Structure 1
Amino acid sequence: MTNRKIDKKIEDILYRYFRKKRSLDRMYNRVSILENKIERIKKDIHECNIEIKDNLRAIDYDRVNVQVSEIKSIVEESIISSIENLQRELSYTHRKKVKLKIKIRELEEKTSEIDNLLKGMTEQELQIIEMKYNDRFTNVRIAKLTHCSERTVRRKKDEFIEYIACELNIS
């Protein structure tokens, strides 16, 4: 491949990497929201302080012989229905959380290689790369923000692209 094609391919990899990192941040936030929701549902179920069994029976104590009827009161039916709804919602929320955590693991696996490459960079190089590929700033704007010349920004970016190409065996 020509040098320009390699550069373009590496830049595409970096743009996708930072897009995946933003997506991961949103997913972590959603997991946190789901965990809070799960805790609220558990609290709602727990605060009812009721254990309802399927064979609830109303007992009539007015007679000598205690008679048990199979009829459930409207209140009992309402409580049972509410708790069942909460349990269904809890189950659904757990499934959503598990699916989201699976997606997070997959994305973390996909981004881990670039993460490792970024760990070896200096603070200034990392800042330049993030501004260029995450924030999509121009070289001129990056130069102003990092208090260095545009040429330095271009050189550091090109060095990093070359480093990534070498590490990922892209030629």
Structure 2
Amino acid sequence: MKSIAVFCGASLGNDALIISEAYQLGKTLAKENITLVYGAAKIGVMGRVAEGTLDHNGKVIGVIPDFLKTKEIASNLLTELIVTKNMHDRKVIMYEKSDGFIIMPGGFGTLDEFFEITTWGQLGLHSKPIGILNTNGYYDALIGQSKVMVERGFLKQENLEAVVVDTTIEGVLEKMKNFEPLPKPKWLNTERI
């Protein structure tokens, strides 16, 4: 993988381990020569990931909609800053620029990004690895709810297993590198896309 999009919060939250892990993820990406693609903010968990990457001479591509440039305080230290018209365009560009996706702790926006990119994978629109970095058990409840969805027949087990989960940076990256994509759904007619 040459580039990874990291979806995470524009807030820092109140868990010191998450804040520290965000910086470490950025540092690890830089050391492995993986370009960080993220939401362009210099604040919050997002800012810590970018800081970790930049402090260790890594490349960082930030993607932000014009209306959020001030609110999320776009970093001016990035390798590349892409300004979009809206949130949807932001997600599309982050998808296009990335070979995989890591989900770190965040709020509704992070979950929106996670669910959209995961749904695209489930539908066969991409075969890129998606990893949840479950720092300090942050996503335990979401993982539990996903298992309920499988039990109740709303989610296939293979679609749940297509999202790799680990509590460590090294673990999630290793699982993403060894990721085996789901076969394309038989009903998907690629000529329509």
TM-score, length-scaled by structure 1: 0.22
Q: Which has the higher contact order (CA 8 A, sep 6+)?
A: 1
TM-score, length-scaled by structure 2: 0.21
More helix, by proportion: 1
